[in-house]
């Protein structure tokens, strides 16, 4: 043991700076390994608290998993390559010593033991250093981003085992290769493959050293790739994450500023298969008054989503609607559909129909104003006939223009209650014609009736949904007053909900900004770590290649030539890393856009593009600077 | 190119220890002249060559190439001057192992940012009998072949001065003879001033003029 202690202490004395470099290099990769796992874990936990809703959490965690988990794996993978690279560098530094030791009589086993003791001590120092630095880094990120980053023991064990395996395996392989040749063999590098000579300096340099430094180059490319990909994805993720899956996402409601709607709890006397919204909803008169006074634009008003009419249609002949209803009932897709029950018999009597000859069913119906029909479906109908309830629009998968049905529309007034509905309920019996069709593949696509007609036969019917937007500019005071009046309108019934999208929008973007800052902080710190790692990679490359730069200098190259050569090599790597990282990031973003079904071009234009451009510029200068600093430190 | 060295001194200092490698050396060399510099190990002959090539900076004194005060040039100008006017050959060959022999030969031209004129390079390669070895890497060449590649590299920019530091130190007698003959003939044909540092008396005797260095002082045919 004494001889090993002597050799190692001597090595530390003589090569202290080199060994320290290896320790820093290893601990840097281990730091990134540990920090990214801790941060990822904490970020997930934080995300869970931020959106305290099972569905939302599930969605967001899924999306975050899709991005953060592969990125974490990439980080771990890069760290592993970095550890292998640092080990190779460390071995190469000592190869001459091993050669001499072998020449003076050290056996293969003794040489191996010396190497392993040395590498294990380096590994232990690096691990301790990296645990401290990773903990510090994550705590710092936590302080800045407001995420409570927690400490886990498992990643330390994983990092320790993985790094130890890397070091032992790499050294074993290198030693085996080393033992193949005699210790007296000349150490001159001979490329494995022949190649044609190249006659421009940069190309020649790249050809000569590209293969030799491919491990370091791969690490640099991977690191730059990760920096770019994380930035591209990171700039996309917060807005995407907050968008599309949430009911209060302002982007989903377009330019609607206020919405009132029936949330739940409508009265339904089921035996009549009528959802019965008498007396419910938003008071039409009051709402119309507010709309007029504040000059609001009605984006959508619905008055009959709970209100189903009945259809009489013949059993005879090729009746497409009937066939469709029977098919829907088989699949349990048709609600409130009933054949020849005593209650439907009673209703047919009330409506003047005859059971056995006719059949009654309710289809899914939308009540829509003529303007909305034209705006939403692009259908042109005879306005007068539509408004007076003679014409309807229907889906083309089970109706065609000219089809006629008999429709029974329940009519009630304010005195109708579930108890007296049998006596008080009346029906309007009307023959209707399909005058326009729209394309649909949905089995229960709605028949579209005139809302104006519904309101005309049911005076007491209120709005069930009202979406409004501010068409002229309102002062803050006016907005406040409008908000109060709409709130009062909603307060009359506990089933009525009111949303002020104007306020929600501000809160939404606050939330997005918070998340953006959190991600940006984390990403920024990782980018700094990665840049230091790129610098280390440049250091390894430049240090290993010092002899070549010295030779260039002997011939007549000044120090700027070396800088140009190293920079051009790193800029080449930078280009590959940036292009591949950007493409990868955009592909991931597009993938999420597609699976999320969200229009995201605005995210690309407003967030991803500028952030990527800034990041590319920063990376470019940072890498150039780190190469320059490394070159200066190496005093070539 | 005419060389004039005036009171050249070099002191190496390592902490408090100072070693005077050269003391007030003065001599001159005419264009196309061939000179051998001899001396025992540690006498300062390699230091003299390094100073002449601008690979180290003189502590005092001057070196003139024609009218140019070489010692007054900045580091980058000195490098540039060396690249254009001085060829250097070493005992250890100093070839870049990752480059082919051809690339090593053409490297100075690449540094001059010229697209290499391969006609002249091929002439040199032919003259140095390296035609079959151009696509080989240094590790695949013998010592003599590597030294010939190094000579070709030193001559490819058509330098005015060729400085050789123990060019035959790693070679056997046959290769030594070949390399010295080659250096002398090539230098004569190209009108290059040739200065060869050697500790081998047999090699030195083949030169018309011999300088001796002893304890940092230059003697012999100094005028």
Are the Cβ atoms of B75 and A201 closer than 8 angstroms?
A: no
Confidence band, pLDDT 50/70/90 cuts, at residue A327: low
Decide: B37 and B211 in contact? Cβ < 8 Å: yes
Task: Quote the percentage of chain A above a pLDDT of 90.
Answer: 2
Which residues, 6+ apart, have CB-to-CB distance to A249 below 8 Å?
Answer: A242, A243, A508
**Backbone torsions φ then ψ of A76, nearest 5 degrees:** -65, -45
Cα separations (Å) of A433 from A29, A52, A401, A443, A454? 74, 49, 8, 20, 16
Report the residue of B107, B108, B161 to disrupt the A interface, i.e. the one with the largest count of A CBs within 10 Å: B107
Are the Cβ atoms of B111 and A191 closer than 8 angstroms?
A: no
Are the Cβ atoms of A198 and B134 closer than 8 angstroms?
A: no
Confidence band, pLDDT 50/70/90 cuts, at residue A319: low
Task: Quote the percentage of chain A above a pLDDT of 70.
Answer: 67
Angstroms from A6 CA to nearest CA on chain B: 27
Angstroms from B199 CA to nearest CA on chain A: 22
Are the Cβ atoms of B76 and A558 closer than 8 angstroms?
A: yes
DSSP state of A146: T
pLDDT at A251 over 90: no
- For chain A, say whether B194 makes contact (Cβ under 8 Å): no
Are the Cβ atoms of B80 and A196 closer than 8 angstroms?
A: no
Candidates A600, A604, A584; CA nearest to A592 is A600
User: In chain A, whose CA is at the least distance from the CA of B110?
Assistant: A201
Strand segments, DSSP code E, in A458-594 are 465-470, 496-500
- For chain A, say whether B82 makes contact (Cβ under 8 Å): yes
Inter-chain contacts counted by CB atoms under 8 A, chains A and B: 84
Angstroms from A31 CA to nearest CA on chain B: 34
pLDDT at A12 over 80: no
Written as tens digits, the pLDDT of chain B (223 aa) is: 889 999 999 998 877 788 888 998 999 999 999 999 998 888 888 899 999 998 888 999 999 998 889 999 988 888 889 988 999 998 888 888 888 999 999 888 888 876 667 788 888 888 888 888 888 998 888 888 998 899 899 988 889 999 999 888 877 888 788 888 888 988 888 889 999 999 888 889 999 999 999 888 887 765 5
Q: Which domains does chain B have, with CATH numbers?
A: 3-220 (3.40.50.300)
User: In chain A, whose CA is at the least distance from the CA of B114?
Assistant: A200
Distance of CA A100 to the CA centre of its chain: 57
Separation CA B196–CA B191 (nearest Å): 15
Contacts of B94 in chain A (CB under 8 A): 551, 554
Q: What is the mean pLDDT of residues A236-250?
A: 59
Position A270 scores a pLDDT of 44
Burial class (CB in 10 A: 0-12, 13-18, 19+), A160: middle
Contacts of B86 in chain A (CB under 8 A): 556
Candidates A204, A195, A188; CA nearest to B103 is A204
Which residues, 6+ apart, have CB-to-CB distance to A222 below 8 Å?
Answer: A74, A77, A78, A81, A577
User: In chain A, whose CA is at the least distance from the CA of B95?
Assistant: A551
Q: Please tell me which of the candidates B75, B94, B103 has its beta carbon nearest to residue A197.
A: B103
């Amino acid at each position: 043991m004494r001889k090993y202690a002597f050799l190692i202490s001597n090595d530390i004395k003589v090569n202290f700076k080199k060994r320290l470099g290896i320790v820093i290099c290893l601990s840097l990769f281990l730091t990134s390994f540990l920090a990214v796992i801790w941060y990822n874990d904490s970020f997930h936990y934080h995300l869970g608290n931020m959106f305290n809703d099972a569905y939302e959490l599930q969605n967001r965690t899924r999306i975050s998993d899709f991005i953060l988990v592969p990125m974490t794996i990439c980080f771990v993978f890069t760290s592993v390559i970095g550890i292998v690279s640092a080990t190779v560098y460390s071995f190469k530094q000592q190869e001459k010593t091993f050669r001499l030791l072998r020449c003076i009589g050290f056996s293969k086993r003794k040489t191996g033991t010396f190497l392993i003791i040395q590498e294990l001590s380096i590994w232990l120092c690096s691990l301790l250093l990296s645990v401290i630095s990773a903990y510090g880094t994550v705590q710092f990120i936590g302080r800045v981003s407001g995420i409570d980053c927690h400490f886990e023991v498992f990643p330390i064990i994983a990092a320790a085992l993985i790094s130890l395996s890397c070091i032992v395996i790499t050294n074993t392989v290198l030693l085996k290769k080393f033992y193949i040749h005699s210790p007296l063999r000349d150490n001159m590098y001979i490329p494995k493959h022949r190649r044609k000579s190249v006659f421009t300096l940069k190309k020649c340099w790249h050809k000569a050293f590209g293969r030799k430094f491919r491990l370091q180059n791969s690490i640099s490319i991977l690191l730059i790739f990760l920096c770019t990909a994380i930035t591209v994805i990171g700039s996309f993720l917060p807005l995407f994450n907050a968008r599309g899956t949430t009911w209060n996402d302002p982007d989903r409601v377009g330019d609607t500023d206020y919405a009132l709607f029936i949330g739940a709890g409508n009265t339904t006397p089921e035996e009549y298969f009528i959802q019965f919204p008498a007396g419910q909803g938003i008071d039409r008169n009051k709402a119309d008054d507010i709309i007029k006074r504040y000059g609001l634009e009605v984006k959508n008003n619905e008055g009959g989503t709970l209100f189903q009419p009945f259809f009489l249609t013949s059993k005879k002949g090729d009746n497409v609607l009937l066939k469709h209803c029977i098919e829907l009932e088989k699949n349990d897709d048709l609600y409130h559909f009933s054949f020849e029950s005593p209650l439907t018999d009673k209703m047919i009597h009330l409506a003047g129909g005859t059971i056995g000859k006719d059949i009654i069913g309710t289809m899914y119906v939308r009540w829509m104003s003529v303007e909305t029909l034209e705006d939403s479906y692009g259908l042109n109908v005879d306005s007068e006939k539509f408004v007076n309830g003679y014409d309807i629009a229907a889906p083309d998968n089970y109706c065609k223009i000219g089809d006629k049905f008999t429709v029974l529309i329940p009519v009630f007034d304010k005195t109708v209650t579930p108890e007296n509905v049998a006596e008080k309920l009346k029906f309007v019996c009307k023959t209707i014609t399909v005058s326009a069709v729209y394309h649909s593949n949905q089995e229960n696509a709605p028949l579209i009736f005139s809302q104006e007609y519904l309101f005309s036969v049911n005076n007491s019917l209120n709005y069930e949904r009202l979406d409004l937007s501010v068409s002229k500019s309102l002062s803050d005071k006016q907005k406040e007053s409008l908000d109060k009046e709409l709130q009062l309108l909603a307060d009359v019934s506990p089933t009525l909900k009111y949303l002020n999208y104007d306020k929600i929008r501000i809160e939404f973007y606050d939330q997005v900004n918070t998340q953006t800052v959190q991600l940006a902080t984390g990403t920024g710190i990782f980018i700094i770590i990665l840049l230091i790692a790129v610098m280390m990679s440049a250091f390894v490359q430049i240090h290993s290649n010092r002899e070549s730069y010295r030779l260039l200098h002997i011939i007549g190259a000044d120090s700027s030539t070396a800088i140009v050569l190293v920079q051009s090599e790193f800029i080449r790597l930078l280009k590959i890393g940036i292009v591949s990282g950007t493409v990868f990031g955009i592909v991931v973003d597009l993938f999420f856009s597609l699976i999320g079904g969200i229009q995201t071009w605005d995210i690309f234009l407003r967030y991803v593009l500028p952030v990527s451009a800034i990041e590319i510029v920063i990376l470019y200068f940072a890498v150039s600077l780190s190469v320059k600093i490394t070159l200066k430190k190496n005093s070539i | 190119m005419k060389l004039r060295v005036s009171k050249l001194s070099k002191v190496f200092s390592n902490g408090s220890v100072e070693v005077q490698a050269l003391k007030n050396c003065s001599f001159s060399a005419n264009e196309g002249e061939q000179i051998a510099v001899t001396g025992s190990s540690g006498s300062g002959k390699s230091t003299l060559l390094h100073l002449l090539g601008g690979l180290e900076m003189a502590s005092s004194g001057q070196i003139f190439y024609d009218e140019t005060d070489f010692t007054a040039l900045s580091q980058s100008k000195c490098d540039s001057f060396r690249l254009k006017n001085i060829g250097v050959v070493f005992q250890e060959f100093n070839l870049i192992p990752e480059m082919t022999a051809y690339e090593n030969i053409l490297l100075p031209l690449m540094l001059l940012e010229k697209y290499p004129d391969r006609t002249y390079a091929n002439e040199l390669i032919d003259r140095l009998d390296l035609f079959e070895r151009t696509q080989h890497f240094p590790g695949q060449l013998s010592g003599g072949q590597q030294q010939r590649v190094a000579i070709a590299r030193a001559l490819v920019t058509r330098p005015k001065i060729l400085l050789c530091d123990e060019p035959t130190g790693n070679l056997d007698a046959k290769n030594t003879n070949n390399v010295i003959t080659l250096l002398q003939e090539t230098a004569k044909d190209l009108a290059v001033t040739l200065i060869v540092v050697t500790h081998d008396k047999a090699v030195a005797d083949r030169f018309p003029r011999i300088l001796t260095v002893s304890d940092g002082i230059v003697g012999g045919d100094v005028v």
